[in-house]
Structure 1
Amino acid sequence: MKRFAVVAALLGLTTVTACGGIGDRSAAVDGGLYTTVDALKPGIDANAPINPYNPKGNTFRGYNAEWLGWTKNHLTDPNQFYPGVAESWDIAPDQSSITIRLRPNGRWSDGKPITSEDVKLSIGLAYTQGGTAYALDPSAAGTASDIEIVDDRTIKISQSAKNPSATFVRGVMETCIVPAHIWKNVLPADFWDKLRIARGDTPQAEAARAEITGLAEKVIAFGPAKDVSAGPFVLKRVNPGEALLVKNKNFYNAANVAPEYVKILNYTGNEQIWNYLIAGKLDNAPFTALPEQVMKRIVRTEGNAVVRGYSPVGNALAFNQTRKPYDNVHVRRALAYLVDRAQVTKIASPEGGVASVATSGLHQKAAEAWLGDSYGALEPYRADPAKAEQELKAAGMRKIGGKWTMPDGTPWKPIIHVPAAFSDWLTGAKAVTSQLNDAGVEAQVVTTADYPLYLEELAAGKYDIGFWLVALGPAPYNVYQRLYGTANGWQMFGGRLRHVAPGKEGNWMGGAETVEVKGVGRVNPGELAFKLNSAPEAEQKKIIATLAKVANQDLPVIQMWDYVNTQFVNTTRFTGFPGDDNDALRLTSGVWLQLGMIKKRQP
């Protein structure tokens, strides 16, 4: 799947010189040049500011943009991290707070110490953008309620007791830290007073919230005169073809950072990455959808190797149940029985996916960890035309002249929508429609120009069926919000959970508010999914077991394949890359470099 960042308005220009790079690899071979692409930044914009809050900004995660800590994406525990700006941290047993300790030798690339003031200022900037631990809505879950500077290198962030969340710690640790001495004037002098008012319920709160969110564009537009980095590298120059970064000599672990330079190459499509790999230009490339014949060419290149690991995300066909006949569970089950998921995966994502064993809402590996033996009891919906016919007849559908029709005899022509640039989704959708047409269901594929537009139209309820990312782990709350959250009608309003009518306020999935579950009874899946936000692990397991049954029986989606984190490395210049199933594979190679994993190959 091609990765995109959502494009926001670019409101400022960088002062970084848009001049050429250092030329070919041999120009810096003595100092060590590491070359890669950034999956988070397709399309380098040489005119964008050096700003991690800007979607096109010339900061690169793990290289010159640094988080407090780097998420390991454990199967069941979202609160495991590699150190970043933070050297260590203490999490309160009830997750009511996290105390961050910065490195005593931590310094910015300009030599100034990294302090608690930098962290506090960065949190303030994050509040202007909203979301995660820094939402301004007092009813939002898992938001910070207090920020206490203990000393120059220690800061404590507490969670609001009104609506605690198991995702709070991760939201804090994934804060990008910027230098206060560069950014201090971006926030007004009374910012923290405004924030205190905004988090309250006084008459002035709404106006204060508006003032803070109104700062978002100013933050996005800010363009520092030069890169001052807490990471292992500093941006030296950028042009439309590449960004060149040089080692940060003040980085705490600089002695163990192997290359002197990093070159991040521009790309706008998967094919460019394939060509870079075939030419042996890249030391590492993240997951890229590709056909089998291209994989064979890549691995023939000297030094190229493939590593694979867990990727907490899956792909699914999602139904708009506000549209007939997809409001009928028998139709959804029939489609599940008509699709051979293994065959679709083999065609669409042979190197980057494994056919889903069963629809549960979870990635298979996470499902096995959370559900144990009960995972095997879920209905797998293996391809079975006879069962599909039974389900269609139960829905009142009719077969006329070898073609399935609506109950009233009018044509039934399912349309599957996909973004045009996602090659695996497009190929998968075509494979699905081919199978459906063979079974007498006249299905077709329609593409949308780009991913942001696709998501916009999906949320507006314009599609009958669309491809949808699911199983977004590791936090189970996030996993089940994909199926039983805002997209399916459950929203927080005034501190309380409510279910809005199908087709209203972003409820494009249109599922029923309650579902009858065999062996369990009638349940409200949105309420259960919301409880995952604060439930202890033992209770989470019970909730997940129920929600897996709901998803499996009601099929708001049909899980197609679980992604495999397939990456490419080249060992002719560097060694020490993470191996198969290493939890660091979900992080950028900038993190591998800063942790000292990567070593120069010795002659």
Structure 2
Amino acid sequence: MKKGMKKGISSLIGLIMLLLLLSACALNSSGDDETKKSGQKTNDATVNKAEEKSYKATDLSALPDKTKARKDTFVAGISAPGGVFLPYFYENGWDGNATTPIFSPLVDLDKEGKPVPILADSWDTSKDQMTYTFNLRKNAKYSDGSPVTADDVAFTLTLLHDPAYNGYQDISLAAIKGGKEYKEGKAESIEGIKVLDEQRIEISTEKVNAKALLILGGQVLSKAYYGKDYEYGKLDYLKELYSKPLGAGPYVFSKYIPGQEIRYTANDNYYKGKPKTENLIYKIIDKATSLQQFETGELDYAGFPADDDTVGQLESLKFANVQVAPVNDYGLIYVNNTRPQFKDKEVRQALLYGMDRQKIVDVRFKGFGQVADVPVSPVSWAYNNEGVTQYEFDAGKAKKLLDKAGWKIGKNGIREKDGVQLKIRYLTADAEDAAIPIAKENYSDIGIKFEPEITDFNALVSKLTAKDYDFAAVSTSQILDPSDTVEELASNNPNNYVGYSNPKVDKLIQEGLGTLDIDKRKELYHELYKEFTQDPPYILIHYRQSARAISGQIEGLVPDNYTGIGSSLPNISIKK
């Protein structure tokens, strides 16, 4: 998915991210989730990621007949779009994927996570790092031939400040000067937005924010098309345009057939030139049958969770190019720090030592995953596990820490303190959660009663919001920026669902956001990760891999961990 759901970038980690709600199977690099992305460069010196593998197509004559018959159409899978094809307004993550070919941003990220210009030809940042000047491409046009202008950028940012706007993008994070006053009806325009000329716009903010560039440089909406009926405080008129998108992306929306597919045609007016492949189809698929659909030629590209059977099956397809690589997310277990039994950090340390996380990862991923050690993916430029406590499974250490914290073995072998037994209620929406039998046995051995509760997603969300839980199984969506995975742990963050509080962490979170210096940010996040392992807010579980399969006749498709297949769309061609 492109930018997440309610309140966007800041809340992708937290309630919205849970259980891969925003996953988008075949469209991104992981094969089962895509959201907006961030980062700068992988720190190869400290990455300890699982081995990457690739298998090349060896016999294109083995291509399925359906694939061979496609001479000017590329087909990828999508799971369940809802039909709201307008950036900033959809609530279904699959709609985010569907808008990607239609709408281009000012700024996007390359395969290493570094910002690159798209509709913006370039940008400048002031010395105090609070004012951005975007220089738009002179040849940037919408699919109807009209030019992309600075007025369109100003309109888009103004729309996001409208009091009636309640979509996923929390524009307040960018802190544009005068934005709050406009939203509250105290000003008729936003002071910090200045259109310098048709191709240049200056945006002044009130504080330094390392993520501001991507927030300000998002997808651009045509003022002439989407703003012609705009009235302050009234946005319902846009609903009529949800199914009639107009953008400046590489493809033009053609038709949506609910339950079947979304069709696009190449944009003659795309600034890089008309895409090489005339037709694009996002075919609505069932994950359970997507492998079969790729094998029979119904799909040119598909992504899958990696396991021996799937990878082996894909490798056996002589017509497929296959990539097996780490994914830009991780899985964890929330620990409710507001519960009296979890307030002591030594108890939380014991809970880490006392759980055989390696066994959980082995059972679940069968060699295609690894135990997570810091709250960011190994593909991120911020990943650094040097000096970080690894918490390898050690029941003896767990027992000593629990004894030290005052939790003594009581009746029935369950630890007690002040007359209260140490019990853990574990919420999960996965009936086959590998952690259940393993954690139950591990914790029983050290005197903790582990009680799993399988629930549905909505019930889980409700309990997390109310902090009515002990443990809860969650997973991040695709990570935008290293700050996204830690911001929710700030003491004053309303999305702090684990109830964690650590003044040093609060300070490091703010410092990490408060500079655009990538090297300085690396240092700050490394220090933050070390602090987390001394005072763990939750239990990190896994990093995982995925498998991506590409039809051998497709050229120019290079999926990555930040843009999925989005950045490749203009370059895709079919071997003749």
- The TM tier, using the shorter chain, reads 0.7 to 0.9
CA displacement 1:381-403 (0-9 Å, x = unmatched)? 11111111111212222335773
Q: In structure 2, which of residues 256, 272, 291 is the aligned counterpart of residue 238 of structure 1?
A: 256
* 8 A Cα contact 2:300 2:554, kept in partner: yes
Asked if 1:55 corresponds to 2:31, the answer is: no
User: SS state of the match for residue 171, structure 1?
Assistant: helix
Q: Structure 1 residues 460 and 567 mapped into 2: Cα distance closer, same or farther (>3 Å)?
A: same
Q: Find the partner of 1:557 among 538, 542, 550.
A: 538
1:201: which partner in 2? none
Task: Find the aligned partners of 1:178 and 1:31 in 2 and give their Cα distance.
Answer: 32
227, 250, 272: which is aligned to 1:184? 227
* Uncovered stretches (5+) of structure 1, i.e. residues with no partner: 7-23, 192-210, 492-504, 515-523
Is 1:361 aligned to residue 371 of structure 2? no
| Pair 1:138–1:407, CA change in 2 (3 A) | farther
Residue 196 of structure 2 is matched in structure 1 by: 150
Whole-angstrom distance in 2 between the partners of 1:416 and 1:186: 50
User: Which residue of 2 is the match for residue 533 of structure 1?
Assistant: 513
Structure 2 matches for 1:163-562, cutoff 5 A? Answer: 163-173=207-217, 175-188=218-231, 191=232, 211=233, 215=234, 218=236, 221-223=239-241, 226-239=244-257, 240-255=259-274, 257-267=275-285, 270-286=287-303, 288-289=304-305, 291-309=307-325, 311-350=327-366, 353-356=369-372, 358=373, 360-364=374-378, 366=380, 375-400=385-410, 403-408=413-418, 411-420=421-430, 426-429=433-436, 431-437=438-444, 441-450=448-457, 454-469=460-475, 475-482=481-488, 484-485=489-490, 489-491=491-493, 507-514=496-503, 524-535=504-515, 537=517, 540-562=521-543
Distance of 2:65 and 2:462 partners within structure 1: 42
Structure 2 residue aligned with 1:599? 573
Distance 1:315 1:295 in 2: 21
Query: CA contact under 8 A between 1:331 and 1:391: conserved in structure 2?
Result: yes
Task: Please say if residues 111 and 561 of structure 2, whose CA atoms lie closer than 8 Å, have aligned partners that are also in contact.
Answer: no
Residue type at the aligned position of 2:73:
L
Residue identity in the other structure for 2:74: Y
**Structure 2 partner of 1:119:** 153
Q: Deviations over 1:32-73 (max 9, x none)?
A: 2111124xxx41235x46565222458724311222222237
Kindly provide the CA deviation profile for residues 472-509 of structure 1, in whole angstroms up to 9, marking residues without a partner as x.
75644334213x32xxx324xxxxxxxxxxxxx65542
Moved over 6 A (4+): none
> How much identity, in percent, do the aligned residues show?
17
Name the counterpart of 1:65.
Answer: 103
8 Å contact from structure 1 (residues 309, 585) kept in 2: no
Distance 2:269 2:412 in 1: 72
Shift of 1:354: 2.5
Give 1:370 shift: 6.5
Residue 64 of structure 1 aligns to which amino acid in structure 2? I
Contact 1:461–1:508 (8 Å) recurs in 2? yes
How many Å apart are 1:336 and its aligned residue?
A: 0.8
State the one-letter code of the partner of 1:478. Answer: D
> After the TM superposition, which residues 561-580 of structure 1 pair with which residues of structure 2 at under 5 Å, given as runs?
561-564=542-545, 566-578=546-558
- Decide whether the 8 Å contact of 1:234 with 1:248 is kept in 2: yes
Could you say if the C-alpha distance between residues 600 and 429 of structure 1 is closer, same or farther in structure 2, counting changes exceeding 3 Å?
farther
Do the aligned residues in 1 keep the contact of 2:361 with 2:541 (CA within 8 Å)?
Answer: yes
The answer to whether the Cα contact below 8 Å between 2:339 and 2:470 also exists between their aligned partners in 1 is yes
2:558 alignment partner AA: P
- Give the unaligned 5+ runs of structure 2: 1-17, 24-63, 184-189
Aligned residue type for 2:542: W
CA distance in 2, matches of 1:462, 1:59: 33
Counterparts of 1:156 and 1:578, CA distance in 2: 34
- The one-letter code matched in structure 1 to 2:409 is K
Number of residues of Structure 1 aligned to a counterpart in Structure 2 = 500
- Confirm or deny: 8 A CA contact 1:165 1:534 kept in the other structure: yes
Task: Compute the displacement of 1:245 (Å).
Answer: 1.2
| Cα contact 2:354–2:442 (8 A) shared by 1 | yes
Superposed displacement of residue 351, structure 1: 6.9
1:92 to 126, 130, 140: 126
Which digits, 9 at most, give the CA deviation of each residue in 1:258-277, with x for residues without a partner?
3211111224x632434434
For 1:321-351, what per-residue CA distance to the aligned partner results, in whole angstroms no more than 9, with x for missing partners? 1113222222211121122222212222347
Equivalent AA in structure 1 for residue 138 of structure 2:
P
State the distance in 1 between where 2:182 and 2:389 align. 37
CA offset at residue 282 of structure 1? 2.5
Aligned-partner SS, 2:483 = helix
3-state secondary structure, aligned to 1:530:
helix
Structure 2 CA distance for aligned equivalents of residues 456 and 66 of structure 1: 35
Do the aligned partners of 2:209 and 2:516 also contact (CA within 8 Å) in 1?
no
RMSD between aligned residues: 3.5
Gap change, CA 1:471 and 1:601, over 3 Å in 2: closer
SS of 1:457's partner is helix
Query: Within 2, Cα distance between the matches of 1:525 and 1:96?
Result: 24
